[in-house]
Structure 1
Amino acid sequence: MPRTANRVLIGLTGLVLIALGGCVLAVGLGVKPPSWWIHQGPHDVLLSDAERTRWRERTWWWPTVVGALAVLALLALWWLISVLRRRRLAEVLVDTGDGEGALLRGRALEDVLAQEAGQPDGVAWAEVLLTGRRSTPAARIRVGVAAHVDPADALRRLTDESLARARESAGLARLPAEVRLRGVRHRAERVT
């Protein structure tokens, strides 16, 4: 789930809960609520006997309520799993040739790849994130390039040099990468 959608969903849920809780607290403290509000005073109950037994004769009511609550619970569980899932690869399996293999910290490979990607002239910064499985990692790379740099040239240097060296040093058959180039903001140049 994208970070923005997650933040919006959490913010909206928090606002709704704060608004409802604040309104219930205000009514409980004696504030006169509007006529459309569900509680009319501090001694009002959430569901009256008439409201609670109104749908008892309808055979579709309870299966619908239980089904809707089950769907809501599954959506909440999916959201929780997507938030807690680790996106960063912790380690990469390196083929040492002896059949055993070695484990390379994912963060170390990310740091080296980001440092190499940020070295060429005109590259302001580089961020690398390894994803996938430890035997078949993939890279997400964001690179900030200056305005005078040709994007095709920057991409060629990144793939032919930095990614190729990382792939060879880790003993990987392939290292797929998603590269996003972003222009770096700079101050306006003044002509005198």
Structure 2
Amino acid sequence: MRTAVNRLLLGLTGLVLLAVGLAVLAGGLGHWPYGSAHDVLLSAAARRRYRGEDWWWPTVIGVLGVVVLVALWWLLAQFRDRRIRQIHVDGGDSGDGQGVVLRGRALENIVAAETESLPGVAHAHVALTTPRDAPTVRLLLALAPHADPGALLTELDTCVLERARASAGLPALPAEARLRAVSHRASRVS
């Protein structure tokens, strides 16, 4: 979701900056479409129109401040990735600190595949989120019309999540599951 929003905002920002840049370039080359090449973007009267108003400068500074804060929030959100890249799995009884590194994406794919094999699950999307020493599984499940949510959640907890917890060597693996129904067409009775 975040990547789609980023691409949309980046594309819109790029188009606006490109249009403004081309307009300024056209004006600098003497091809300004709104008058002669010596015209300015804002006339002296337009620049001085609101200068004497008490609301003008606080409004300008407030709007620019909000734009800067939103831009900073967006920039910081890009660096905050809550997905786990890898989990260190202990090597067992060797005691030498050796082990293996399990990719977070691999564990997500395995949990999603096992969840989709459960009866009543049409599609599953799984995300493994931080912290690294105690990750949390977030599941978005699309349920088929014949699904029994209670039995499905019990089987998900006792089979799929328990197996994932044991295979990753984690003491606990909390999960948050969001269920939604798959829309289907009504069957005709004749």
**Does TM, scored on the shorter chain, surpass 0.5?**
yes
Distance 1:4 1:107, change over 3 A: closer
Task: Indicate conservation of the 8 Å contact 1:95/1:172, yes or no.
Answer: no
**Number of the residue aligned with 1:123:** 121
**Corresponding residue pairs, total:** 179
Return the letter of the residue paired with 2:148: D
Q: Deviations over 1:39-63 (max 9, x none)?
A: x6542235677859x97xxxxx7x9
**Number of the residue aligned with 1:140:** 138
Distance 1:154 1:11, change over 3 A: same
Percent identity between matched residues is: 45
Q: Distance in 2 between matches of 1:138 and 1:93?
A: 15
Task: Indicate conservation of the 8 Å contact 1:139/1:176, yes or no.
Answer: yes
Tell me by how many angstroms 1:87 deviates.
3.8
Q: Deviations over 1:128-169 (max 9, x none)?
A: 111103222111111121111111221121112111111111
**Number of the residue aligned with 1:188:** 186
**Number of the residue aligned with 2:172:** 174
**Number of the residue aligned with 2:33:** 31
Tell me by how many angstroms 1:68 deviates.
7.1
Q: Secondary structure at the match of 2:151?
A: helix
Q: Distance in 1 between matches of 2:177 and 2:146?
A: 19
Q: 1:95 aligns with which of 61, 79, 90?
A: 90
Return the letter of the residue paired with 1:95: D
Tell me by how many angstroms 1:30 deviates.
4.5
TM-score by length of 2: 0.70
Distance 1:120 1:21, change over 3 A: same
Q: Distance in 1 between matches of 2:19 and 2:170?
A: 54
**Which consecutive unaligned segments of at least 5 residues does structure 2 have?**
52-56
Q: Secondary structure at the match of 1:140?
A: strand
**Number of the residue aligned with 2:107:** 109
Distance 1:169 1:85, change over 3 A: same
**Number of the residue aligned with 1:159:** 157
**Which consecutive unaligned segments of at least 5 residues does structure 1 have?**
33-39, 56-60
**Number of the residue aligned with 1:36:** none
Distance 1:41 1:158, change over 3 A: farther
Q: Distance in 1 between matches of 2:65 and 2:119?
A: 56
RMSD of aligned residue pairs (Cα, Å) = 4.1
